[in-house]
Amino acid sequence: MGAVYDGYVSRYLNRRISEPIALLLAKTKLTPNQMTWVAFGIALLSFVSFTLGHNIIAGILVQLSSIADGVDGGLARLKNMASEFGGFLDSVLDRYADILIVLGLTLWSLSHETYPGIWLAGLLAVSGTICISYTRARIGPNHRHLFDRGLKSLASRDVRLLLIMLGAVIGQAYLCLVLIAALTNLVVFYRLIYMYIYLGRRGGEAEPVSQGGGAL
């Protein structure tokens, strides 16, 4: 379902739309997990729209997917149907949706823009997007709140999707990819430095959670 933490865009924009929708859908038989799939389906349609060259439609769908992603959490609370699997499903599909959306933006840029290094910008944007989510998940529940405020939260999913929507609608995909790549990767490195200092002061670096290669 929806994450406990709401980013700036979710808090001040998306929730104003998703919560009333959740109230309406709570009267139906729709389940939170089904709504999670709906949000992913919208993201998939966005990818298709990008590949077909419809950047404005794709951008609007990106933001609709972001809003729909908050509806499942609202449904879970209203119907008292929150579950660990629901949260797991939501997180997994969000990552696939993120990849599809950034890939779609990259493909549109390749077809409609002549900037150099478009593939590199797209790759860095995807890498940063995945690592933002990974660092927050990997740090563990006891420290996750540290990434929910200030500079460490600037590249949250709701912010990224809003930037992609704006970049797609105004036809500046490449610049959007560069911005997403820079923002996400800089925040990831800032998180690494911050946690190195924070855990070092607490002695946390002396007890690594895992030294294996297949932890996640």
CATH classification at residue 100: 1.20.120.1760
Q: Looking at residue 88, what is its pLDDT? A: 92
In a domain, residue 211? The reply is no
Give the range of the structural domain holding residue 172, as residue numbers without chain letter.
8-203
In a domain, residue 190? The reply is yes
Q: Looking at residue 203, what is its pLDDT? A: 67
In a domain, residue 1? The reply is no
pTM of the model: 0.88
In a domain, residue 215? The reply is no
Q: Total domain count for the chain?
A: 1
In a domain, residue 216? The reply is no
In a domain, residue 214? The reply is no
H/E element, 142 = none
In a domain, residue 208? The reply is no
In a domain, residue 24? The reply is yes
Q: What is the mean pLDDT of each run of 10 residues along the chain (216 residues)?
A: 62 88 92 95 98 98 95 90 91 96 98 96 97 89 82 88 97 97 96 91 55 46
